Amino acid sequence: MLYNFAIGEIKINVENVKAVAWCIIAGIIVGLVVTFFNKTVTGALVRLLLKGGAIGEENSKSAADLGLLPDAPAIRAYRRSSTLQRVISAVGEGEDEKFFIPAENQKRAEEQYSLRGNELIVIIVGALALILLGTLLTIIL
């Protein structure tokens, strides 16, 4: 095995450094995609509640009020996500279940789940920049 340089007693193979760099880049890109998914798909219920004025229990909305089926992806995401359950509250069960954002969570909901329209562009540019970085590392090393 060809070692290109050593640090003390540790011999480092440049091919291994390249592989590790590409794995880190891939991990960051996956993280960007997951963040985008969480903000757009998982946050859909939050945005619907904000748009519908469901702030406080007295203004709670059912899935039908929000234009959703009871088993819509946004409702399923709420049931699976402890993060969403910290922002959204529900009263009732089954078809009588209604959702709302407690007034103390409104600002957090707006900041965390609002879409500014540039999220996808940021992910694409970020992924391309990381791929370029990996390519440059591969060429240089």
- 107 lies in which domain range? 5-140
Out of 8-17, 27-36, 100-109, the most confident range is: 100-109
- pLDDT higher than threshold 60 for residue 1: no
Report the pLDDT value the prediction gives residue 88, as an integer from 0 to 100. Answer: 95
- pLDDT tier for residue 107 given thresholds of 50, 70 and 90: very high
List CB contacts of 74: < 8 A, sequence separation 6 or more. Answer: 41, 42, 44, 45, 48, 68
Count of structural domains, the chain? 1
- pLDDT tier for residue 2 given thresholds of 50, 70 and 90: low
> Averaged over 26-44, what is the pLDDT?
87
